[in-house]
Structure formats: structure tokens, C-alpha cells
A = this chain, B = another copy of it.
Amino acid sequence: MLREFVRSSKAMSDETRARILNLLAHSELCVCQFMVILDMGQSTVSKHLGILKNAGLVEMEKRGTWSFYRLSKDKTNAHNRDFIRLLPSLPKDDPILQKDNRSLNEVSKKGVAFCSVVALKKKRRARSIHAGEERCDR
């Protein structure tokens, strides 16, 4: 149906989600790895992945507390198969995607546990900055 076609197309047509799809074209990843590579907050990443999953472009598998995402292998959806096939035409010479791919290599080497630590640190830093600002207001 047209509605599904548009939903999948919309899911692709955002810079952040295009970056996510580019990364997933290389390997499966969990949320905290995306946080490090994309340098974005956890809720942002989770939201974007939810949109991609809802459109059927991406699948999720829980392993312990981690959620691993990968490109959908669903053969029943014609649009999504075609949209995913389009990923190789993402501009390989784009500096953002090149940087993402380099980060992906590093992150992959260091493993998931590393990302958890980095993501947690980031979260705590954000909290403490916020707490500091509040103190200054008094």
C-alpha cells in the first residue's frame, strides 16, 4: 500500500537515520554503540531505531540487556527490500559517512563493553553539568 511505501521512504529520509542505515549495512550494532559513533543521546538513538523498526527496515534482537539492530531480512516486504538495496548508493565520499565508518571500525575493535562505559560516562557528565547549572542559578 502507498501508506507503507511512504512510511518506509520517510524512515530513510533523515540524515541521522541514513547514517544509521549506512552503519548497519556494515554490521549489526547495539544502541550504546550508536550513541558513541553518532555522538547523540540515548533517547534520540532509540527513537530513530524505533522509527526504522516500525517501518520494517530494521530488525532487533535482545541479548541480555543489549538490543542489537540489523537490516531487515524480511523477504515479504517489497518496498523495504528495494529500499535496503538502495543503501549502496549512499555517497561513499561524504565526510560524515566516512567519519562514521572510521568510528565503526574503532568501536568494533573495542567491543560492546567499551561502548557501555563511554555511553555511561556521557550520561553522567550531562547530569553533573546540568546539576552544576542548577546550583549556579541559586
Q: Which residues of B contact A82 (CB under 8 A)?
A: 86, 89
Q: Which of B5, B86, B93 contacts A18 (CB 8 A)?
A: B5
Q: Which of B1, B2, B96 contacts A2 (CB 8 A)?
A: B96
Q: Which residues of B contact A86 (CB under 8 A)?
A: 82-83, 86
Please tell me which stretch of A7-15, A66-74, A106-114, A125-133 contacts chain B, meaning at least 4 of its Cβ atoms lie within 8 angstroms of it.
Answer: A7-15
Q: Which residues of B contact A79 (CB under 8 A)?
A: 89, 91
Considering the complex, which residues of chain A in the window 77-121 have a beta carbon less than 8 Å from any beta carbon of chain B? 78-79, 82-83, 86, 89-91, 93-94, 96-97
Q: Which of B3, B83, B96 contacts A15 (CB 8 A)?
A: B3
Q: Given A9-B9, A12-B13, A13-B10, is A4 in contact with B91 using a C-beta cutoff of 8 Å? A: yes
Where the two chains meet, the residues of A that have a C-beta atom closer than 8 Å to any C-beta of B are 1-6, 9-10, 12-15, 18-19, 78-79, 82-83, 86, 89-91, 93-94, 96-97
> 16 interchain pairs (CB within 8 A)?
A1-B91, A1-B93, A2-B90, A2-B94, A4-B91, A5-B18, A5-B90, A6-B13, A6-B15, A9-B9, A9-B12, A9-B18, A10-B14, A78-B91, A79-B89, A79-B91
